[in-house]
Amino acid sequence: MSRSLRQLTMRLFNVREREAPAVLAGLAMFFLLFCGYAMLRPVRETMGIAGGVDNLQWLFTGTFVATLVALPLFGWVAGRARRRHILPWTFGFFALNLVAFALGFQADPQNAWTARAFYIWISVFNMLAISVAWSVLADLMVLGQAKRLFAMMAGGLSFGGLVGPILGALLVGPIGHAGLMLAAAALLVGSIAAALALQRWRDALPDVDAERSAQSRARPIGGNPFAGATTVLRSPFLLGIAAFVLLLASVTTFLYFEQAKLVEATFPDPTRQTQVFGIIDAVVQALALITQFFLTGRIAQRLGVGVLLVAVPVVVAAGFVWLAFAPLFAVFVVVMVARRAGEYALVRPGREMLYTVVPLEAKYKGKNFIDTVVYRGADAVSGWAKALVDMVASQPALAALIGAALALVWGGVGAGLARAQARREQAMERDTARTHSVEGTLARSEAPVRDM
């Protein structure tokens, strides 16, 4: 590639010198991870409907309980493993789980308990695996890089989410659900290789700070397995992120329950249900991919993180009001696509940028507590709340209006977090400038001594 063409490409994608390998490795890490998950996501939705739409709140509760069990185990690994090994160990464990599920489905494809266990497992896997991948990026990159590159790397999630459902729809017939699980396990191993390449890229940089140095990442974080919860409870900023995630999950759950009802009523055949879920996933990821590659980074740089955190809640609130007056499947699809595409392209990168201004332990343990326990706890509580609303209310519009109110509060919390993040960024810049000033003064004061 000529120099002029390379420079044009870098300007187009907002990438600087020596960052291209990191972008490619991050893209590959997210693509392989989410492609495998997206292949299995329509299977999860089919398993949820097979267990009974009226019992979804039990599956959500089971997911929350499983999360409470899994998080201390992850905290134990994160406290004792070298930071650069946290992701490979976690993903390797999940790949072995997928092989075990494949064997179980191959032996008894109609076993209801295996289906329920898989639904719960993949719901925990989805949150924890993606959270760990984002933790690695927040650990390796500073805020300036995050604003420009996080959305670009998150494009791997969208591209994987676009390819995965198509692969799932094409392969579920020839190889079955068990075959899809083995394929997803292989993709997960490939994601480990991409993450290791990202670590090697950071190792090769000469101008890294102490926290991101190869020597620092070769040491364990330390602490106890429950440090994630205590880290969040001690920090108003992290509590704000937890509130943001809680509201996000609540809004998502309200839409998810409506999705299950409308799809079951419109498409009674399970195979057709899987195909519909796959088509929705493909449309969502295509829209998110375009936005991530060409818009999100520039929006974050020029307008700030606040726009990323507020725009989608406002749109979702309007969508809920629309659903209240027109509860049709076509309307729901428009609202769901807008919510999910906006979350992938705007909300998720913006949320992850918040973690670049928090201490090291918060990047891994605190973040994963929020992304798993808080998120799945909100799922469980809002699932029962939605079921209660449906039971006592004769008008489905009530649930939609409650969802609109939650979305507006969600947007307000996002605006507050953006202001807090900006204050933290300014404080970090002042501290860095002060440190450099002190180091320069010391160097000048020591110069005559060295010359003697």
Using CA atoms, how far residue 426 sits from 73, 421, 429, 433, in Å, is 36, 9, 5, 11
Q: Nearest-CA neighbor of 164 among 126, 214, 202, 219?
A: 126
Q: Nearest-CA neighbor of 262 among 64, 446, 88, 396?
A: 396
Q: Which CATH number is 82's domain given?
A: 1.20.1250.20
193 is a domain residue:
yes
The helix/strand/coil state of 267 is coil
| Domain that residue 419 falls in | 18-204+219-427
The pLDDT of 169-183, averaged and rounded, is 85
The pLDDT of 367-382, averaged and rounded, is 80
440 is a domain residue:
no
Contact status, residue 317 vs residue 400, Cβ threshold 8 Å: no
pLDDT of residue 128: 86
pLDDT of residue 52: 54
443 is a domain residue:
no
Number of domains in the chain: 1
pLDDT of residue 108: 80
448 is a domain residue:
no
> Tens digit of pLDDT for each residue in 344-365?
888 988 898 888 888 877 888 8
Does the pTM exceed 0.85? no
Average pLDDT, the chain: 79
> Tens digit of pLDDT for each residue in 283-329?
877 788 788 777 787 888 788 888 999 999 999 999 889 888 887 78
Tokens 């992304």, residue located: 371
Can you spell out the DSSP letters for 77-127?
A: HHHHSBGGGHHHHHHHHHHHHHHHHHHHHHH-TT-HHHHHHHHHHHHHHHH
8 is a domain residue:
no
432 is a domain residue:
no
433 is a domain residue:
no
pLDDT of residue 450: 42
Residue 385, pLDDT > 60, answer yes
pLDDT of residue 50: 55
pLDDT of residue 94: 93
Q: Which of 235-239, 344-348, 373-377 has the highest mean pLDDT?
A: 235-239
Lowest mean pLDDT among 139-143, 204-208, 233-237: 204-208
Q: Nearest-CA neighbor of 235 among 334, 113, 347, 358?
A: 358
pLDDT of residue 227: 73
**365 or 184, higher pLDDT:** 184
> Tens digit of pLDDT for each residue in 431-445?
666 655 544 554 454
The two tokens of residue 203 are 């190792």
4 is a domain residue:
no
> Tens digit of pLDDT for each residue in 16-52?
777 788 888 999 999 999 999 988 887 776 666 655 5
**137 or 328, higher pLDDT:** 137
Q: Which of 2-11, 143-152, 170-179 has the highest mean pLDDT?
A: 170-179
